[in-house]
Amino acid sequence: MSEKSLLKLGIIGTVIAALCCFTPILVVLLGLVGLSALTGYLDYVLLPALAVFVAITIYAVWRRRARAKSK
């Protein structure tokens, strides 16, 4: 995966996971489709996903800086 696409993936994933964690967007959407019983389990999925996407973003930035220093 290229550095640019890795950074895009990390940033987009972080923004989506953060929006779903800190705003009721996902709760409302699940309620609209009748899956509101799953809202109790959202923290078990969204918080680790947020951590993974933040780690991907940090890795992509670190990789980009390391490559820039070597040039």
Place of tokens 């895009």: 8
Tens digit of pLDDT at every position of the chain (71 positions): 788 899 999 999 999 888 877 778 888 888 899 888 888 888 888 889 999 999 999 999 999 999 888 87
Return phi, psi of residue 34, to 5°.
Answer: 85, 15
